[in-house]
Amino acid sequence: MHEGAESLSIAAPAKINLFLDVLGKRPDGYHDLRSLVVPVSLVDELKVEKTDGVIEAVCDGSELPEGHAGLVPGSADNLAVRAAQRLREATGHRGGVRIHIHKRIPVGGGMGGGSADAAAALVGVNALWGTGLAPADLMVLGAELGSDIPALVRGGAVCMEGRGERVTPIACRWPAGTEWWLLLVNPGFSVPTADVYRRFRTGLTSPDETFTNARFALERGAVTLAAASLHNALERVVFVKYPLLRVVAERLKAAGALGVLLSGSGASIFALAADRRHAEQMENEIGCDAGCPLWTRVAQVLPDGVMAAHGPLEARA
Ligand code: ATP
């Protein structure tokens, strides 16, 4: 479809975890997870263009929260670059790629920004180079680079298990016109994921009923049930270390959120709203008197599959 294109554009949506349970620690040091992951309408934009051989990233961080641009690794350590390198190793392709990344997803925010860029790079560069790997193959490569990447390569609402390598799509049959609006809030600082898991002590897992309800709510588009079934096993340990986040969560509840949860390992918090206006009202209400200026965005959940998550690839000859 994109044969001969010199460049392609691709969207990399952020994710939130509506449900995240940590089931135990594995012998390899990673944790076994069970999580419901959905993309949201806050996107990084990638443009991938062919080069003779070099693989590099150029980042524009002008739309990130203040201070975040400096946190995005320039090239060698950028996850999008590592994804393209891994794809080249796996396929023996000879060309290179320059990856322009227009970042909007807060860094170290539990919204999978780096993973989303890596997933979009795998999908976009595979199409640009014509290397022809199937989505399942891209997911296997992605799993080597980060736990959230297979889910984000698949796109849409998924259940993620193991350390992230087992991804089951959730068939969302939402009544026509159903939309889920939410407010994303980031305090401006990053939370290192590895540190959260180091502090985490496996205890009681959440009741199966909570997971079943959350999945059912996602399948049917029932936002009130979803809000009542939100769960994140990491939230307590993150709130203990960063009490400001608990204050933000309480303020969002007081502003009438249907449900409030830490996304992933933080530092972002999301608040489910009844509709767009409600999300905008909450945004006005939480203001900036929580102790530090807060970054906020009104966004929508994107429950559909790959094309909804990544957007159609736009080719340029
Ligand atoms: P995770 O839970 O996977 O750590 P996160 O959403 O909390 O994800 P990210 O925004 O993915 O956080 O950033 C985590 C780290 O990944 C950053 O500290 C940064 O150094 C590194 N990183 C590598 N590539 C990127 C990228 N393209 N965009 C953002 N961060 C990146």
Instruction: Name the active-site residue from 32, 148, 208, 275.
Output: 148
- For residue 120, report the distance from its CA to the centre of ligand 1, in Å: 14
> Is 15 assigned a catalytic role?
yes
pLDDT 10s digits, 9-48: 999 999 999 999 998 888 888 888 999 999 999 999 999 9
Is residue 241 annotated as part of the catalytic site, yes or no? no
Q: Would you state the pLDDT for residue 194?
A: 86
Cβ neighbours for 103, distance < 8 A, ≥ 6 positions apart: 44, 59, 60, 61, 63, 64, 68, 69, 72, 113, 117
Query: Measuring from atom 29 of ligand 1, which residue has the nearest CA?
Result: 114
Q: Is 265 in the pocket of ligand 1 (CB under 6 A)?
A: yes
Domains and CATH numbers, the chain: 7-169 (3.30.230.10), 181-300 (3.30.70.890)
CA 293, 295, 296, 301 torsion-angle sign? negative
Q: For residues 60 and 45, what is the distance between their CA atoms, to the nearest angstrom?
A: 10
Q: What is the pLDDT confidence band of residue 228, given thresholds at 50, 70 and 90?
A: very high
Q: Is 61 in the pocket of ligand 1 (CB under 6 A)?
A: no
Quote the ligand 1 centre to 75 CA distance (angstroms): 13
Predicted TM-score of the model (pTM): 0.94
Does residue 266 line the site of ligand 1, with CB under 6 A? no
**Atom of ligand 1 at shortest range from CA of 78:** 24
